Amino acid sequence: MVQVPTRSCYPITLLGRSLDGAAPEVCRTTLYFPLIMNAIEIRGLEKSYRVYQKQEGLLASLTGLFQREYRDVNAVKGIDLDVQKGEFVAFLGPNGAGKTTTLKLLSGVISPSGGRATVLGHVPWERENSYRRKFALVMGQKNQLWWDLPAQESFKLHQQIYRIDSQKFNNTRDELVDLLDVRNLLGQPVRELSLGERMKMELTAALLHSPEVLFLDEPTIGLDVIAQHNIQKFLKHYQQVRGITILLTSHYMKDIAALCKRVVMIADGEIMYDGSLEGIIDQFSGHKVLTLQFAEERMPSDLSHYGEVLEIVEPKAKLRVERGEIAGVLSSVLASHSVADVSVEDPPLEDVIADLFKQSTNKQAETKAAAAQATIGK
């Protein structure tokens, strides 16, 4: 069987003689082996844009009619990232960190101010139809379906837009609506669906053309816990079965913990961290939580010597202790007090991330204030 070379294969040519050795001609066979390649490659990607800077009050509004002041916002500041085919990667970061901007860049909605990126070998902002048929973008807060018509009509339109063969379309649609359990809602106008049902329909519409890359921008925003869980379950299953590449942004840690092995943390337009979710604690948390249960009748009063006291509920005390000092603290506590039980734990992931976000948001606010000051000074 002759295998057709594709972008994802590399050729190897085998040379040899026929088995009897008599024939002098050389047998030539070319085999194509699948090559694990990056679905997404980003190098030094930058995006900055100008925003109108208006001072407070009517007078400023009038002045603004003639002379406008703008401020440059660097939403993405030269990021590098490789995502392999079949990876499920989460973008984590505070509001305004550049997550959505990056997704918009990769889906070709916006073009960058600098740097380059390829998705499946295409430059996204060239917006070739061949690329647009290979990916999908789902934004939790934007609606792609026809508001007044049942979702099945929008699906039909997608079938034509993406040139999906009838048989394949029917199979994919049936599979998706069964997985998402929305078959009985196909004939209901979209405006009459609940938010969770609508999101399921949005996902179905986005996946009808079997995209190789899927960008999800907060797909579970505003959904209740059950709906969130259903969407997570579906995404996990679909990604595992189809092996597609997914980039997800979400504020819900549970989404990320349930779905992604790899987390890319973006703050202030830069990548702060790229690795596993658990790795965030190792890298960013410099302390551990030490819980002591005392056997003595009276709790020791000098606990603050050992570390920051987080909580005391007699006979238990929780202390925040620097990672490097944990062994020393523990041995000195055990030497001077009678302790019934001890546990040393990492701080909760949410807390570590919240701290990180707070730091980066503060930094961002300072930069903004400085820029605004500079504009006023001009």
Alpha carbon distance 274, 266 (integer Å): 9
Please enumerate in sequence order all residues whose Cβ is within 8 A of that of 14, keeping only pairs 6 or more positions apart, or say none. Answer: 27, 28, 29, 30, 31
Whether the CB-CB separation of 227 and 220 falls below 8 Å is answered with yes
Token pair recorded at residue 234: 């579906």
- Structure letter (DSSP) for residue 228: H
Binding test (CB under 8 A) with other proteins, winner from 9, 149, 227, 344: 149
Task: Name the residue nearer to other proteins (CB basis): 132 or 251.
Answer: 132
* 14-53 positions binding other proteins, by CB under 8 A: 47, 49
> Is residue 203 within the footprint of other proteins (CB under 8 A)?
no
Binding test (CB under 8 A) with other proteins, winner from 8, 32, 115, 146: 146
Please tell me the number of Cα atoms within 13 Å of 297 on its side-chain side: 0
- Listed ranges 56-64, 143-151, 233-241, 364-372: which one lies at the site for other proteins (CB under 8 A): 143-151
> Is residue 338 within the footprint of other proteins (CB under 8 A)?
no
Q: How many CB atoms lie within 10 A of CB 131?
A: 20
Binding test (CB under 8 A) with other proteins, winner from 78, 93, 107, 321: 107
> Is residue 71 within the footprint of other proteins (CB under 8 A)?
no
The least CB distance from residue 245 to other proteins, in Å, is 16
Token pair recorded at residue 13: 């040519």
Specify which residues 337 forms β-bridges with. Answer: none
Whether the CB-CB separation of 259 and 248 falls below 8 Å is answered with yes
Task: Name the residue nearer to other proteins (CB basis): 100 or 228.
Answer: 100
- Listed ranges 52-60, 105-113, 319-327, 352-360: which one lies at the site for other proteins (CB under 8 A): 105-113
Token pair recorded at residue 189: 């106008």
> Is residue 153 within the footprint of other proteins (CB under 8 A)?
yes
Token pair recorded at residue 293: 């249960």
> Is residue 125 within the footprint of other proteins (CB under 8 A)?
yes
Task: Name the residue nearer to other proteins (CB basis): 10 or 49.
Answer: 49
> Is residue 189 within the footprint of other proteins (CB under 8 A)?
yes
Beta strands in 153-234 (DSSP E): 213-217
* 263-302 positions binding other proteins, by CB under 8 A: none
- Listed ranges 157-165, 236-244, 278-286, 345-353: which one lies at the site for other proteins (CB under 8 A): 157-165
Total site size for other proteins, rule CB under 8 A: 32
Alpha carbon distance 4, 319 (integer Å): 63
Place of tokens 């649609």: 173
Q: β-pairing, 114-119 with 38-53?
A: antiparallel
Alpha carbon distance 93, 107 (integer Å): 19
Q: What is the contact mask toward other proteins in residues 161 to 180, using x (rule: CB under 8 A)?
A: xxx-----------------
Task: Name the residue nearer to other proteins (CB basis): 139 or 321.
Answer: 139
| Binding footprint of other proteins on the chain (CB under 8 A) | 47, 49, 75, 101, 104, 107-111, 125, 127, 129, 132-133, 136-137, 142, 144, 146, 148-149, 153-154, 156-157, 159-163, 189
